[in-house]
Structure 1
Amino acid sequence: MKKIAIIGRPNVGKSSLFNRFLQSRKAITSDLAGTTHDVKRDCIELEGLSLSLSDTGGIEERNHQETMFLFKSIKEQALKEAGLADLILFVVDGKLAPLDEDLSLFRDLQKLKIPLFLVVNKLDNAKEEERIHSFVVFGISEIFAVSITHNRGFAALKSAIIKVLNIQPLRYEFSDGFMGSLEEEMLSLGLHQDKTQEEEYDEIKTAIIGRVNVGKSSLLNALLGEERSIVSEVAGTTIDPIDESFYYEGKKLTFIDTAGLRRKGKIEGIEKYALQRTREMLDQHAHIALLVLDASAPLVELDEKIGSLVLEYGLGVVIVLNKWDVRHKEIEEIKKDIKERFKYLSYAPIVTISAKNKKHIMQLKEAIIKVYQQLIYRIPTAMLNKTILDAYSKHPIPSKKGKIVRIYYATQYKIAPPHISLVMNRPKALHFSYKRYLINQLRKEFGFSGVPIFIEAKKKGERSVDGECMQEEQN
């Protein structure tokens, strides 16, 4: 297995880069220098192949007697890890001019005669990227301007790693004996993997939906910490979607307060326009929906109909139980009612809040970030196939007219939300109940909290047709 080591001084973003590759937060990040002491290792997947990735401690010279021994040990461990690698990613802080300490450490690493990339981090916009020219003093051409926090430049860095390590796409043997890459097979099926989705979105667009007067505008104000949206006891105050943005945990969150929805027979005048605008927004702009329910009154059928918009537009979802401080009965009983009425959203997390009193707003923000991370997660191909084929071996698909039904392999060809294609010998024999079984296995293995999962079955050589995706059945 090929190895990549991340090396650099403290607080330059090494652990953030490590987490970016892993698409998780396994390494603790902090503004405090020296947060990482020991070497952390994990596996990542590029082009279907597993690689070892190491996050090393920040290398720094210390003269203070109490800390000198610790930082000397950290440096020894980091350099030892670098010597075992096939590629070294040397990370520096792009907001600072090139430092003598960085240059000295870089020269030491060059002596190892191992491929070496200079990763200039914290260049958060195009203007700051101009600073990259000052780093030519390092004397190499493999310089990459990135902003790990804002997810800039990561795709170019990953492509260069694939090239320098000569990583070839994993090749599969298909049922007819043809050997080919998964990408070639996907093209034959019309499954064009969306390369624009390899990186995270610049912003997380979250729609606030619910029936009239459940507290959507109050929730927007609580999230923003200011009175941005008009709050009134008069139902239907919000007509045009209102959107506001702020940064939270390095992510730009954009919230859209939509018009409250009524039963069809009660929609009149300008509210018809509002409903149309809400649907357009959900279809074209939203990634996640906050389905707001009123804990002060019993649930109604309209709540369920509004919840179905989440599935209709393939959105991530958090169920927000507002007014919990004036609930009409105990929270656990209300949650039980939600689970019974919203069986089709059984995967959605439930957060209780009081928008008026700004209670549990922080927990809601954290739930949104978690759903977003699951929404953009791409399951490594090898892990996806292991999960699907393990599930198939435990519970094979019932034969069709005495003929065996086989799953050859699976591929996730899209994120946000995840779309998975199963290549089979008899795709029409895959019943919705078996798809639901596979989806449950994927949730058990990978989580996908608050995220719908779409599965379609394909025969080798059959091209995708819009609208054929299969998601969790409502029945």
Structure 2
Amino acid sequence: MENNLKKVALIGQPNVGKSSLFNRLANKRIAIVSDIAGTTRDIKKHQIEILDRSALLLDTGGIDETNDEIFSNVKNKAIKTAKEADIILFMVDGKNIPDDKDKELFYELQRLGKELALVVNKIDNDKELERLWEFFEFGISDENLFGISVSHNRGTKTLYEWIYKHLPENPETVAKLEEEKRRKELEDEFFEDEFENDEDFSIEGLEKLDEEEVIDDTSINVAIIGRVNVGKSSILNSLVGMERSVVSSIAGTTIDPVDETFSYKDKNITFVDTAGLRRRGSIEGIEKYALMRTKEMLEKANVALVVLDASRELTDLDEKIAGLVDEYGLGTIIVLNKWDENMDTFQKIEEEVRRRFRFLSYAPIIAVSAKTGRSIDRLKDKIVEIFDNYTQRIPTSQLNKVIEEAVIRHSLPSPNGAYLRIYYSTQFSTRPPRIALVMNKPQLLHYSYKRYLINFLREKFNFEGTPIHVIARGKHDKMGDEEYLER
């Protein structure tokens, strides 16, 4: 879908308000906004809608003439992005007089022959609007010059109208949120309608419902998380096959999450390279926003790559970060990066990881080297495999047969002499797999027996890399949100 949209690039020096305008156009706070110059370091993309027309908005890092390692990379990326764009919004700071650097950059963009607007930001009132005349020095026409104030939402309507005029009519729009909404509606209908009237409910009806619920199984959202400087950006670049994120030896280079979508084995895989996480006491300024953004990305992800530095000892912070993945119930792969820098045996490191990450016992461990490309293709294959496990639905007849076999092998406990009985079981949703045990006294089923059933299911079906939620409920019970937390 993105390939069919016209691209609108935001270009300009640091701290002129590009990220603020990006957020305004996107109608949500996506880019990190800060008074610190150079906050945005990577190219950020988001599909926007202006009335009935769509575009792909690209927010670039601030262009700064400096020998600094990060900003020299950012400038190259920003110019490259401008060349690939259809429409360029060149932003300048209206509080300052036009300078030669801005003019030089503007003329370089002008030679590209693209639709080009000069956007003068921070024009907060009518008096400041008078300074707009100074920017005609750029040789820009009146219809392509805009004086705005993003923070005061002043003058933006005219800019939107100009962008709208240069977009094609009636483009297709992405419906991922509608798909997720539909999935939730199907779950609600299942419990409110079918289970509420369980006198007429049957296993055959469950199987029919399984067939009717259709969920897109071609789009994978992958969150990449880990401590600062463990190599998340390098892994992303190796997986995508290009230098997508700004990579440097300076810890914390990635602040905004960076996403990239590509096709692999009939799947559309979107990687989100989340900002590195520090200890809470070290989170200052814009990094606290990065932590918030990481959690937001995990909410949208299907699969998570927990990246660990194989060349260093594991820490308590590694465990806390991995705990976020467990909290959000994602398909999970543990990735040991910088494997080429550690001479210890894989078995030794694997034992340490398993000891510290018992709650992710279902997650496979893959040792890679982003530097040399070792096992990167294997990691791609494993992402697809884990996603298939995460989205699979076990037919009700098979599931009931396996649960019955598990109960025969290890009978249900009888707490205080109470007789427990499982009437039937069904997988009522995926992502992750959620299984309901419909029984006579669900509140008496001990957690340890649920764990036994989960392990038994793993023996019979391929659930590698995915958590399994087992919920015990009575015939007339309704599903509560807290029950989703049970594993």
**TM-score normalized by the length of structure 2:** 0.58
CA contact (8 A) 1:297 1:328 kept: no
Query: Is 1:199 paired with 2:215?
Result: yes
**Structure 2 gap segments, 5+ residues each:** 1-194
- CA distance in 1: counterparts of 2:380 and 2:472, whole angstroms: 36
Out of 302, 305, 309, the residue aligned to residue 294 of structure 1 is: 309
CA contact (8 A) 2:198 2:475 kept: no
Distance 1:185 1:375, change over 3 A: closer
CA contact (8 A) 1:282 1:313 kept: yes
Out of 210, 213, 216, the residue aligned to residue 229 of structure 2 is: 213
Distance 1:214 1:195, change over 3 A: farther
Letter in 2 for 1:402: G
Query: Is 1:180 paired with 2:208?
Result: no
The equivalent residue for 1:307 is 322
Distance 1:397 1:356, change over 3 A: same
- CA distance in 1: counterparts of 2:218 and 2:413, whole angstroms: 44
Distance 1:417 1:377, change over 3 A: same
The equivalent residue for 2:377 is 362
The structural deviation recorded for 1:357 is 1.3
- CA distance in 2: counterparts of 1:392 and 1:315, whole angstroms: 28
The structural deviation recorded for 1:359 is 1.2
Query: Is 1:241 paired with 2:257?
Result: yes
The structural deviation recorded for 1:202 is 3.7
Query: Is 1:258 paired with 2:279?
Result: no
The equivalent residue for 2:116 is none
The equivalent residue for 2:480 is 465
2:234 aligns to what SS in structure 1?
helix
Q: Encode CA deviations 1:311-354: one digit per residue, 9 max, x unaligned.
A: 11110001111011111522210111001011111111111100
2:277 aligns to what SS in structure 1?
coil
The equivalent residue for 2:412 is 397
4+ aligned runs moved over 2 Å, structure 1: 176-186, 192-196, 198-202, 469-472
CA contact (8 A) 2:203 2:396 kept: no
The equivalent residue for 2:140 is none
The structural deviation recorded for 1:401 is 1.9
- CA distance in 1: counterparts of 2:271 and 2:395, whole angstroms: 31
CA contact (8 A) 2:437 2:472 kept: yes
Query: Is 1:338 paired with 2:353?
Result: yes
Distance 1:453 1:194, change over 3 A: farther
Out of 455, 458, 461, the residue aligned to residue 440 of structure 1 is: 455
Query: Percent identity at matched positions?
Result: 53
Higher helix proportion, which one?
2
Distance 1:385 1:397, change over 3 A: same
- CA distance in 2: counterparts of 1:300 and 1:193, whole angstroms: 43
- CA distance in 2: counterparts of 1:226 and 1:185, whole angstroms: 46
CA contact (8 A) 2:423 2:438 kept: yes
CA contact (8 A) 1:385 1:409 kept: yes
| Counterparts of residues 148-163 of structure 1 (less than 5 Å) | none
Letter in 2 for 1:199: I
Distance 1:194 1:413, change over 3 A: farther
1:417 aligns to what SS in structure 2?
coil
The structural deviation recorded for 1:199 is 3.4
2:227 aligns to what SS in structure 1?
coil
| Counterparts of residues 6-17 of structure 1 (less than 5 Å) | none
The structural deviation recorded for 1:438 is 0.2
The structural deviation recorded for 1:396 is 1.5
**TM-score normalized by the length of structure 1:** 0.59
- CA distance in 2: counterparts of 1:246 and 1:266, whole angstroms: 35
- CA distance in 2: counterparts of 1:217 and 1:424, whole angstroms: 48
Distance 1:268 1:449, change over 3 A: same
Distance 1:194 1:465, change over 3 A: farther
The equivalent residue for 1:353 is 368
Letter in 2 for 1:248: Y
| Counterparts of residues 377-456 of structure 1 (less than 5 Å) | 377-456=392-471
1:441 aligns to what SS in structure 2?
helix
CA contact (8 A) 2:238 2:376 kept: yes
Q: Encode CA deviations 1:111-145: one digit per residue, 9 max, x unaligned.
A: xxxxxxxxxxxxxxxxxxxxxxxxxxxxxxxxxxx
